[in-house]
């Protein structure tokens, strides 16, 4: 039996070296911006899940819960983009979508206001943390321009 036909779980026969797997590329450490905005997005998705249930219970009409669920999916989809330098802009657009749900359910305006204030606080705090890390030479993404 050749090495190609050998099962991956079986040890290599004597005298043959097993093939080494390609080293896995490590993901760079998450920055403060990505970490904090991911937390906010997660909290918003949980809030939208409960908001979807509440809107369905109040209205029994399909457009409202579908809109809430669509914004929750948008937030989940944008979480992957937060690692990009421009990811905060996409997150800001998602915050506008969260706030726009106020037109569908006016009570949601209070919840949206709390989430937007939380997003602004985390954004400002993350910028400060990253500025201090860069000043100390501890930027998780390496030196600028690298």
pLDDT value, residue 93: 94
pLDDT value, residue 8: 54
For 125-139, the pLDDT digits (tens) are: 999 988 888 888 776
Whether the pTM exceeds 0.75: the reply is no
Q: Where are the domains of the chain?
A: 32-133
Print the SS3 string covering 76-128. HHHHHHHHCCCHHHHHHHHHHHHHHHHHCCCCHHHHHHHHHHHHHHHHHHHHH
Asked if 37 and 118 touch (Cβ cutoff 8 Å), the reply is: no
For 23-42, the pLDDT digits (tens) are: 776 655 678 888 899 999 99
For 17, 22, 41, 83, 128, the CA distances from 80, given in Å and listed in that order, are 39, 25, 11, 7, 22
Q: What is the mean pLDDT of residues 5-19?
A: 59
pLDDT value, residue 103: 92
């Amino acid at each position: 039996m050749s090495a190609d036909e050998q099962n991956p779980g079986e040890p290599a026969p004597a005298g043959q070296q097993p093939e080494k797997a390609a080293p896995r590329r490590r993901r760079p450490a998450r920055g403060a911006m990505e970490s904090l905005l991911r937390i906010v997005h997660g909290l918003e998705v949980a809030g939208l899940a409960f908001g979807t249930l509440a809107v369905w219970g109040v209205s029994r009409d399909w457009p409202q819960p579908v809109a809430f669920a669509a914004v929750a999916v948008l937030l989940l989809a944008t979480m992957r983009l937060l690692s990009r330098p421009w990811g905060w802009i996409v997150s800001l657009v998602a915050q506008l979508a969260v706030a726009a749900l106020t037109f569908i359910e006016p009570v949601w305006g209070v919840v949206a206001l709390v989430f937007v204030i939380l997003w602004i606080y985390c954004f400002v705090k993350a910028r400060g943390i990253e500025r201090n890390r860069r000043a100390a030479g501890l930027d998780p993404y390496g030196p600028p321009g690298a």
